[in-house]
Amino acid sequence: MHEVLIPLFEGVQPLDVTGPHEVLAGATHLLGMADGRPGYRLSLVAAQPGPVRAESGLGLVADRPLPESGPIGTLLVPGGFGTRAMASDEVFLAWLRRAADRADRVVSVCTGALLLAAAGILDGLSATTHWRYAPVLARHFPAVDVQTDAIYLRQGRIWTSAGVTAGIDVALALVEDDHGAEVAQQIARELVVFLRRPGGQSQFAGPVWSPPAKNPSVRSAQDLIHGDPAADLRVPVLAARVGMSERHFSREFTKALGRPPGDYVEQVRVDTARRVLESEPVLVTVAAARAGFGSAETMRRAFLRRLGVAPDQYRRRFAVTPN
């Protein structure tokens, strides 16, 4: 049996635990029923055995204390609001480092990546986490190459995954890696989820918000862009509107906001089109026009580049159906 260790702590996100647990337990049942192959032995552990209160108030029960010896197949570290305290708990971080050293595979779910980073386990690696906390991970742990749009990432024996339900995605990937795609696909069917979720996590994120630039000319350009995304927002037009040369405007805009004007305009237009597609029953061509894209095809390419899905697919997933 492959030993899977899941450490619990006060304020853990329960779905980070139960999602992967159900996938791995389901795989164990399926393997045993099919041909008696061993699956996964799942253990919930904590500083003290017994009930642990999750961030939603749900009680989870740790089977035993944090083990100090013995082999570990997979160390699976969940996230949750409780990671804020655990990321500065030197006793827990020291245990995490020791456990990771004797694990064949280390996996984080959601903000569990912050705990791996705090323990130094992600230094020099690419990693992902919940889109909302990716900037926090990047800011506090510059030795980690943070990938904001991945559902999960694998770096050798280290796996990290995005927010909450992405724990199911990464657990299915673990099953596929261990036992093949057919077993993983059967588990995905039982759970009514994708074996490989199309697109990245950016399609689930809220619109990108950039703070107003301190440079008044750049701030004016921002106001023009957000005020009317469908207007003519080419660089020469924006530069003229704020009284700057094209070259100087592009340089100052990029310096102030960390991205060139064209990239910023496209992101605002994608966010505008998303809001239209989510809330109004209009044609894709209408959404494209209202967001400032020259054509539906131009918008489709921008959606695929930034969200990993086409506009019609996005609408099917996220449109609010009126009562």
d(CA 170, CA 210): 31
Residues 193 and 226 in one domain: no
249, 155: one domain: no
Amino acid at 263: D
- DSSP string of 249-275, one letter each residue: HHHHHHHHHSS-HHHHHHHHHHHHHHH
183 and 224 co-located in one domain: no
Lowest-pLDDT range of 65-74, 208-217, 225-234: 208-217
Alpha-carbon gap, residue 201 to 128, rounded angstroms = 10
Give a yes or no: residue 30 inside a domain.
yes
- The dihedrals phi and psi of 228, each to the nearest 5 degrees, come to -155, 80
Q: How far apart are CA 182 and CA 35, in angstroms?
A: 14
216-243 pLDDT per residue, tens: 999 999 999 999 999 999 999 999 999 9
Residues 42 and 109 in one domain: yes
* Residue 22 within any structural domain of the chain: yes
With a cut of 90, say whether residue 55 has pLDDT above it.
yes
Task: Calculate what percentage of the chain has a pLDDT beyond 90.
Answer: 86
Choosing from 202, 226, 246, the residue where a domain stops is 202
Q: What rounded mean pLDDT belongs to the chain? A: 94
Q: Does one domain contain both 197 and 248?
A: no
175 and 229 part of one domain: no
Could you give the number of structural domains in the chain? 2
φ, ψ of residue 126 to 5 degrees: the values are -85, 145
Residue reference for tokens 């450490």: 7
75-89 pLDDT, tens per residue? 999 999 999 999 999
CATH of the domain at 10: 3.40.50.880
Q: Is 157 inside any structural domain?
A: yes
The answer to whether residues 256 and 163 belong to one domain is no
Enumerate the H helices of 214-309 as residue ranges: 216-227, 235-241, 246-257, 261-279, 284-291, 296-307
For the segment 148-153, the average pLDDT, to the nearest whole number, is: 93
Q: Model confidence at 323, in pLDDT bands (50, 70, 90)?
A: very low
What is the extent of the structural domain holding 235? 216-318
Residue-wise pLDDT for 191-200, tens only, equals 988 888 888 8
Q: Does residue 266 sit in the same domain as residue 120?
A: no
Q: Is the pLDDT of residue 136 over 50?
A: yes
When pLDDT is cut at 50, 70 and 90, the band that residue 312 belongs to is very high
Judged against a pLDDT cut of 70, whether residue 151 lies above it is answered with yes
- Work out the burial of residue 245: count CB atoms within 10 Å of its CB; fewer than 13 is exposed, 13-18 middle, 19 or more buried: exposed
Q: Which residues are catalytic?
A: 110
